[in-house]
Amino acid sequence: MSVQRSGTTVPHHTSMRPRRTLATAVGTLLAVLSPLATAATAAPAPQDGDRPPRGSAHMGMGVVEHDGQGALPVPTRAVQTEGVDVSSHQGNVNWSTLWSSGVKWAFVKATEGTYYKNPYFAQQYNGSYDIGMVRGAYHFATPDTASGAAQADYFVNNGGGWSRDGKTLPGALDIEWNPYGAACYGKTQAQMVTWIRDFLNRYRARTGRDAVIYTATSWWTQCTGNYSGFGASNPLWIARYNTTPGTLPAGWGFYTMWQYTSSGPIVGDHNKFNGAYDRVVALANG
């Protein structure tokens, strides 16, 4: 945007002109800057050169950018159980070291959209199980590429199922900022709620379990209008890298899991289950 000058020569004798030169200049400058300031308040979609390759998304990759990174939580008297989540970014995971450090449960990225399967899924999913952890799988949602039902089917068919063995958690839907474009995937708030509902309904029909919802309150508010209709049935996994989980999305009075940092020991993403280990097993058993 530019302001053109007329190029007209202004005579030295201007006593007959209204003396508004400074006010006019300030007004013009504000008119130029005003739309720029307004545009700065909206987070732009990533440009093509900034977008990661499809399939590379993982839990919480937008949390630091949009919600920030605060201090780690202060230990409380409430009993919580440490867990981690992993994707292809971690490669082959040293599960024995994590187990020895006190990590007792894990979630592993299985799929994304209907086009990506984690190549490290077997080592991560089976390795955590073999070491003794309660583990589950998660799906990174891309609501702009396929329907919720189609993505739930893809997830279940490629590692996201459930079995009543006491060590398998219900699958998790990772629904958060779009790393490949507009934050809400080009959907209205009503369309996003419909997409999520279609995924959850199909997952329940396929597995008999209600999927966990992983999200951040700020994204949920922006992209679903802070919809409250899933809190009664779907456990909440809240993402917030700070001393507390903060305000939860509408419909949930408490969180089941809390991803509290992306810079934890051994693997970055560390979580707290809101209860003792027997409650983790209870969620696995339904």
| Domain regions of the chain by residue span | 84-177+189-285
Respond yes or no: is residue 65 known to be catalytic.
no
pLDDT at site 41:
34
The residue ranges of the chain whose pLDDT is under 70 are 1-49, 56, 59-77
pLDDT at site 48:
58
Q: Which two tokens stand for residue 111?
A: 């799929």
- CATH architecture, range 84-177+189-285: Alpha-Beta Barrel (3.20)
pTM score above 0.75: yes
pLDDT at site 78:
78
Respond yes or no: is residue 278 known to be catalytic.
no
Respond yes or no: is residue 85 known to be catalytic.
yes
Which is the catalytic residue, given 67, 112, 153, 176? 176
Which is the catalytic residue, given 85, 153, 210, 269? 85
pLDDT at site 50:
72
